[in-house]
Structure 1
């Protein structure tokens, strides 16, 4: 007797999940973190003396013209050099119909990158959409 109710619940849940995933689609693809601007391959770790770290990403159709994209550089855990999840820097971009790629870079601090874990978070109109992590070893 409970089968129709279970089926209805499963269909409703599936529909809600489909709507939710389209709203929270990644929005970014081909994310590359590297020591070189316009690199083709991503790196997941860097030396403390790395002069500059670059990030680039292609926008998907989930980021329409008129959107505001934020790229935030965050120190997740730098062994006490900064508080946990400390926002080091950020860049804000207004997306137009001619923009389908975003870039950002961060220069080495004077005393070098603190050893630890970091992430770069991509947000669209204030909503976190994607993040990529890297380490300094």
Structure 2
């Protein structure tokens, strides 16, 4: 598993933070099954220009059979304007809690995956 911290950087994204509280730092790498909501945020670098389309996808990589492997839970499309310098997304806990396992958040720009960040539910 990749540890996420406020210093993480990839082409197009920096300061990627996954946490149980919106706007919280430091980043978390694992969460309890009863975590009410999981948030992700990232600052955009100059590689993501105004007019770009950013997609943030939430993926259940391996949940021990609760979902098929690499199942895309949900995603959000964001149109980047000239004044936007960060992106964020959140997922709410399923009714029966988060299935234990490994998850991934995928950041794409104009249809090209630029960064993958993972976390676990345990």
TM-score under structure 1 normalisation? 0.81
1:110 aligns with 2:72: no
Q: Please name the residue that 1:86 is paired with.
A: 71
Q: Please name the residue that 1:39 is paired with.
A: 24
Q: CA deviation at 1:26?
A: 1.5
- Tell me, in whole angstroms, the C-alpha distance in 2 between the residues paired with 1:53 and 1:67: 25
Larger Rg: 1
Deviations 1:59-80 (A, max 9, x none): 0000000000000000000000
- Tell me, in whole angstroms, the C-alpha distance in 2 between the residues paired with 1:42 and 1:57: 11
**What is the RMSD computed on CA atoms of the aligned residues?**
0.7
1:27 to 12, 36, 54: 12
- Tell me, in whole angstroms, the C-alpha distance in 1 between the residues paired with 2:97 and 2:21: 18
Q: CA deviation at 1:117?
A: 0.1
Is the partner of 1:98 in helix, strand or coil?
Answer: coil
Greater fraction strand: 2
Q: CA deviation at 1:36?
A: 0.5
Q: CA deviation at 1:40?
A: 1.9
Task: Specify every segment of 5 or more residues in structure 1 that has no aligned partner in the other structure, as ranges.
Answer: 1-24
Is the partner of 1:65 in helix, strand or coil?
Answer: coil
Q: CA deviation at 1:131?
A: 1.1
- Tell me, in whole angstroms, the C-alpha distance in 1 between the residues paired with 2:14 and 2:68: 29
Q: Please name the residue that 2:114 is paired with.
A: 129
Q: CA deviation at 1:85?
A: 0.3
Greater fraction helix: 1
- Tell me, in whole angstroms, the C-alpha distance in 2 between the residues paired with 1:60 and 1:131: 16
Task: Specify every segment of 5 or more residues in structure 2 that has no aligned partner in the other structure, as ranges.
Answer: 1-9
